[in-house]
Structure 1
């Protein structure tokens, strides 16, 4: 069972309200020591990585920040988690770090340089969660864009963006190009450097990538798009994919679809690590866990759910007829043109197999207390382990991305109560039982044989012939 933890460098995660609860310490997000303690806790427990979601956007209603979003800290306020990672790497030795960064804002050269630097500074423990953007309407305003880029166009741009990054990481420096030979006075072998020339539909570059090859060369590529276009992009490029945990059959279908698409793209379907989100509330007894969960649910309201949903999808549920289906967002004349261009996965999650959608009041009821989170798991250690095993066995996922409600208290409870039970069942390796060669994040998540991209990954085609 692969395990990661989903966090943000902000007041709270998951599209819910929790920072003001007495057991939550998430307001310490600006303190590096807070994150060092979390990273060290997870590393000691055998987690594979600490994941930071990130973005420039925030919830928007009628083109402005809702007062309630500021008042309640709902996906509003935060710092850049990428700058935390060197600090955390310095205080740990094995756990990986994954950070979200959008393809729609910077140039690929700038992105490639940052991640190559992070891979050096972490000793090969960095991953990139590739996204095409979130809260795209507010981002367009913040960055002075004349209009929000359409959903499928963003993925078209992302394909080219990522491909150019791969050219830079894999294609510029041959193995052995970096000499650093003081006696010979040779820093780099010019015959083993290759100029990158790219003139595409959206990006262009001509020149050399200045960062020498890092331990992984390419960071481990993560992706979480659940729309049809997002799944196509993920299956073709991602090494670790997050799927939404809506129901066991729906999740199983998504996993099957992703692996089939990967196979059609010429990749080994089983080499892709598929994780699903899970919010685990565990107690020493079943009753204690239920009480914790009840305290959390009592903090949630329809307004909280609606603000988060509007920020992600552009849809204000409270402005809709609660007794009509969600499909009214496209059925009615004069529908908002942003619908379908933002957060498509959080629209599709409410689309039934027959194409119908639930009533808006039913959507709000599901979002209230759940937000954008995955499966809800509540119980004592044995009950939680049973439920996690059931989800894995029923869906074919390889593990979980844990989404705390009260951070970091939930992380401590999971590590103290659930981790020993999973280890006892053989679902989770103890750190001392891991192979000595699993120093990179790619080795940790894969078969432990290589820190570099697999030969069937599309990025491998950029490797110079001298390296093949």
Structure 2
């Protein structure tokens, strides 16, 4: 009998008050308004490591949600991912109080410069001993583009073209500038770095130009673990070339299976293997010792949720002002320049009127929610893994830190008893923990072409 696949789990979070389940910051047990303190994040990191989470996946957005009703008023009142602070500045503190927890952190390509960003990544990968992942995003809100001095968001596919160029330059810096063995730290000869083993890279791309050496010595992973969340046609091609972890939204395991097969085929088309990517679905879990207690907890959560705030968030994701539609008027999803897959998924789920969307957002979001005792929740998680052909989940917070504590206390032991969850961390970097094939990208990845051959 073949060994059952272990389920990978990241805690899905954001450096803000309201992330996915809008309105829940008003719950009396929720501590998300403490997001401005280091103690909030270091305590959370310890909780996640005790629960053997693979990592914390920290979302981010450059800009704010001003599509719904044409203003930002409801976004501000309901704290819908605004205010939002820099996620990267949290990592050093959380890494200092943990040994194994990984960090998948979001950065928007259009808001960064590859030359300095590459140094930031190398620095954090060094300080965390190889536990850094980068969630590559291309941006999706006009407000962010305007804030960066642009007239508006660039065309959808053009944003991926820019990301391709950004990554190629970054690969040259991370993989090709410093040879293995360049740093010898020889005190007697007064040689820290051997100059003949450090090389200037040359890049003249359609969006970026750089002729320089990488400022940082190689980190344990060189290139961070690469995450990505776009599943449009162009997004799938980008993921097939670059991504190691892919975050999908799917209404059910059948839809997850269809998306997973397309993504794995995209990796094969790029000269990689289907198993070179880990696919994660977004999920919410409301567990308790008994089914009745879980339903009571769920009802309690519902009483604090904001359906309209969920609609504000979704309006930004699609670029569509739903406030202009009557409750039962059909919604036209066809002209989105934001997250194309968001509108497509909504159509496929039959969410074609504002009334239907508001019903879907009864917990403040469109995420699938599993409610039940540990056995029921584990059954459903296994169904998603096996039928959906995915590898794991981004577990979004409902009430902080209760969501993660409940999962660690109730669900992890149940999954461990079934042989579906690790009982200890694998040693090594985040990439080694996830794939078990070494600290750095395999030779079949696009980044490998920029590596310098070993010295004879």
> TM-score scaled by structure 1?
0.92
Q: Give matches, 1:106-255, under 5 Å.
A: 106-135=112-141, 137-255=142-260
Contact 1:15 1:371 in 2 (8 A): yes
Question: Alignment partner for residue 435 of structure 2, among 430, 438, 446?
Answer: 446
Deviation at residue 229 of structure 1 after TM alignment: 1.2
Match of 2:369 in 1: 376
Distance in 2, Cα, partners of 1:62 & 1:73: 14
Q: Does the alignment pair 1:341 with 2:329?
A: no
Contact 1:4 1:48 in 2 (8 A): yes
Distance in 2, Cα, partners of 1:222 & 1:370: 25
Deviation at residue 360 of structure 1 after TM alignment: 3.5
Question: Alignment partner for residue 416 of structure 2, among 413, 423, 426?
Answer: 423
**Equivalent position SS for 1:99:** strand
Q: Structure 1 residues 357 and 228 mapped into 2: Cα distance closer, same or farther (>3 Å)?
A: farther
Q: Over residues 319-363 of structure 1, what are the superposed CA-to-partner deviations in whole Å (9 max), with x where a residue is unaligned?
A: 123323222x54xxxxxxxx421122211112339xx87333223
RMSD: 1.8
Contact 1:317 1:364 in 2 (8 A): no
Q: Structure 1 residues 361 and 467 mapped into 2: Cα distance closer, same or farther (>3 Å)?
A: farther
Contact 1:58 1:75 in 2 (8 A): yes
Contact 1:325 1:357 in 2 (8 A): no
Match of 2:292 in 1: 287
Distance in 2, Cα, partners of 1:325 & 1:248: 27
**Equivalent position SS for 2:150:** coil
Q: Does the alignment pair 1:77 with 2:70?
A: no
Deviation at residue 458 of structure 1 after TM alignment: 0.4
Q: Structure 1 residues 219 and 52 mapped into 2: Cα distance closer, same or farther (>3 Å)?
A: same
5+ residue gaps, structure 2: 1-6
Q: Give matches, 1:265-276, under 5 Å.
A: 265-276=270-281
Match of 2:282 in 1: 277
Most deviating of 183-192 and 251-260: 183-192
Deviation at residue 116 of structure 1 after TM alignment: 0.7
Question: Alignment partner for residue 387 of structure 2, among 388, 394, 401?
Answer: 394
**Equivalent position SS for 2:24:** coil
**Equivalent position SS for 2:330:** coil
5+ residue gaps, structure 1: 331-338
Contact 2:26 2:304 in 1 (8 A): no
Deviation at residue 64 of structure 1 after TM alignment: 5.8
Contact 2:62 2:108 in 1 (8 A): no
Distance in 1, Cα, partners of 2:364 & 2:261: 25
Distance in 1, Cα, partners of 2:394 & 2:69: 32
Distance in 1, Cα, partners of 2:455 & 2:156: 37
Contact 2:285 2:371 in 1 (8 A): yes
Match of 1:460 in 2: 448
Contact 2:12 2:396 in 1 (8 A): yes
Distance in 2, Cα, partners of 1:24 & 1:357: 30
Q: Does the alignment pair 1:21 with 2:61?
A: no
Contact 2:178 2:218 in 1 (8 A): yes
Contact 2:68 2:323 in 1 (8 A): no
Match of 1:50 in 2: 56
Match of 2:358 in 1: 364
Contact 1:14 1:370 in 2 (8 A): yes
Q: Does the alignment pair 1:300 with 2:305?
A: yes
Most deviating of 138-147 and 255-264: 138-147
Between Structure 1 and Structure 2, how many residues are aligned? 450
Most deviating of 68-77 and 299-308: 299-308
Q: Does the alignment pair 1:86 with 2:77?
A: no
Q: Give matches, 1:52-71, under 5 Å.
A: 52-61=58-67, 65-71=71-77
Deviation at residue 365 of structure 1 after TM alignment: 2.1
Deviation at residue 369 of structure 1 after TM alignment: 2.2
